[in-house]
Structure 1
């Protein structure tokens, strides 16, 4: 192989893992060096200052002897942002861009590009190169508030249009985006962090409202599953561990060919041992498992079930890397922020 796939196939665990705090312990260093996960994810518990985050990112990559190991974060804006004021910008949620699109689609596209550029510039300054965004879920009127204003709009076509704008802006500014939560979290009436949601909508209803934004971004480099049971597709298993959902819908109907990672395996929506959760996700068709809370005993069990990066997962990961541009030189964050504020305020 000549596309870099051989550097990952059979050499890196098919896992993205969290760590416990702002500095790695000796035990964590040894653990990551021994298991060699594909990459890492940061949360608020890992964030103090820019210099501290940069040092942590470098230490994580040094553990796996890979300066290009992906480091992820959830930096959507609004309620979901790990980098927060006063050190970092208070980014808006995505709903205001959908509202602006209803009034002025051209202004909405410009505003969203600026917002994503600002997010990406903060991430790349820290060495973080993957953002778990955009959210492509279409919220239903009776859906749980866990999605809410994290979504662009209740119109699937608007979600697809703005989702693509966000995806392309991330790539232009040096960050890999993650489309979430495939094949759609908007109808869930429970929070999958706490329990397993079950969606009873018909397949036709899902095809009409929930799947289209993901199909519109079927070429997104990375995607994240939903821990949700869809009765019309597989009433026995959540999407993360369902071959019917992943093979038939995500890879089939939706046509997604990017790296597919699980949502966090430590969420309470899932049951069974962590090894079982990982095995089921990988057997269903997920390329990579995600475990976020930094608990080493849980991570060890999940790694036992995750296995190594295989041919298709490695190919998809290398293809994702090839999509990302170098961050543009000379980006003026202050001017971008001022223009963004004006657009969201309705100024010309």
Structure 2
């Protein structure tokens, strides 16, 4: 039986009977976890097993936002606190190598509890005067720095058996408001977007997965945010940037989007998105999103299969205590 082109969240640290029955019936392609779902390591392992049992797929993707800094769903006391992306951009010399090592350690933490996809790296290039929703999550203020460190983070994750999701395509760095709470509108011209915002994504088009931005780019489509704009998805992301990997929405429950949840999903798929993401675990919202979500088929299924084929469960061997000590020493030496 085919999967539905959907990634869903759940409400707590364990599945309710209603959630388990719903997931078995709906058969989403994957799931995403948040802090509300994270307990001790054994609890997280039990939850990821339960989620995969609902689908009967051992390789089913389970995602998390584990960037470091203020976007880190798994942290102390069970896991280390990792630095925000900006810290790496301010290092000199071995910045990419240190970022790669940090991502490799992060992948170890995730893989140990059954998480195999991380919504990182952040490839947004912040512009002066933009909202701090990106802020220190960005690796730097230049497209080249963002691309270099983003590449290192992606490689570190994949070396540890975790797929990266680059975000927020085609760029969230100029947004003047937080898309969790409102709809950002970017008035920059296409030349400026090409020169800065699109460049890190163009440099990393070989990565398996990407997340769209809930941002209106008036130079491309003045009416619709990128997530729901065929002009952005087909002309810019697939065309000008040249990305043929799996493209998922940012969270459909964010307040940048308006209207009924079925319509939010339908608009994203009409624009050319491959997979919809709904995060908050609200059952009524999830049921509405499901009504607007097709089976995973065609190019979307091809891209999803190609992404999962990049998973290396064995990963690159690592001496974790030694690597943690080396990572801490490198950060301390560069401080």
When the two structures are superposed, what TM-score results if normalisation uses the length of structure 1?
A: 0.94
SS at match of 1:140: coil
Unmatched runs of 5 consecutive residues or more in structure 2 = none
CA distance in 1, matches of 2:328, 2:98: 8
2:90 maps to 1:99:
yes
1:136 to 83, 106, 123: 123
Which residue of structure 1 lines up, in the alignment, with residue 180 of structure 2?
193
CA distance in 1, matches of 2:249, 2:156: 24
- Post-superposition shift, 1:347? 6.0
2:49 maps to 1:62:
no
- Post-superposition shift, 1:329? 6.3
Which residue of structure 2 lines up, in the alignment, with residue 4 of structure 1?
none
When the two structures are superposed, what TM-score results if normalisation uses the length of structure 2?
A: 0.98
SS at match of 2:75: coil
SS at match of 1:267: coil
CA distance in 2, matches of 1:191, 1:132: 18
Q: Indicate the larger mover: 38-47 or 335-344.
A: 335-344
Contact 1:185 1:226 in 2 (8 A): yes
2:65 maps to 1:74:
yes
Which residue of structure 1 lines up, in the alignment, with residue 10 of structure 2?
19
CA distance in 2, matches of 1:267, 1:318: 27
- Post-superposition shift, 1:219? 1.2
CA deviation profile, 1:2-43 (whole Å, cap 9, x unmatched): xxxxx7xxx111000000000100000110001000000000
CA deviation profile, 1:81-105 (whole Å, cap 9, x unmatched): 00010111101111111111xx21x
2:29 maps to 1:42:
no
CA deviation profile, 1:141-177 (whole Å, cap 9, x unmatched): 1110010110100010111111111112211210000
Which residue of structure 2 lines up, in the alignment, with residue 292 of structure 1?
279
- Post-superposition shift, 1:330? 4.7
- Post-superposition shift, 1:75? 0.3
- Post-superposition shift, 1:240? 0.2
Give the number of aligned pairs: 335
CA distance in 2, matches of 1:158, 1:113: 14
1:258 to 245, 250, 254: 245
2:159 maps to 1:146:
no
SS at match of 1:87: coil
CA deviation profile, 1:276-304 (whole Å, cap 9, x unmatched): 00000001010000000001111111011
- Post-superposition shift, 1:60? 0.5
- Post-superposition shift, 1:337? 1.5
CA deviation profile, 1:244-277 (whole Å, cap 9, x unmatched): 0000000001111110000000000001110000
CA distance in 1, matches of 2:55, 2:311: 22
Instruction: Indicate how the Cα distance of structure 1 residues 159 and 347 shifts in structure 2: closer, same or farther if over 3 A, else same.
Output: closer
CA deviation profile, 1:213-243 (whole Å, cap 9, x unmatched): 0000111100000000000000000000000
CA distance in 1, matches of 2:308, 2:54: 20
Q: Indicate the larger mover: 328-337 or 167-176.
A: 328-337
Which residue of structure 1 lines up, in the alignment, with residue 235 of structure 2?
248
2:79 to 84, 88, 94: 88
CA distance in 2, matches of 1:93, 1:333: 21
1:302 to 266, 289, 306: 289
Contact 1:172 1:326 in 2 (8 A): no
CA distance in 2, matches of 1:266, 1:18: 11
Q: Indicate the larger mover: 326-335 or 314-323.
A: 326-335
- Post-superposition shift, 1:328? 3.6
Which residue of structure 2 lines up, in the alignment, with residue 276 of structure 1?
263
- Post-superposition shift, 1:71? 0.3
CA distance in 2, matches of 1:47, 1:347: 32
SS at match of 2:147: helix
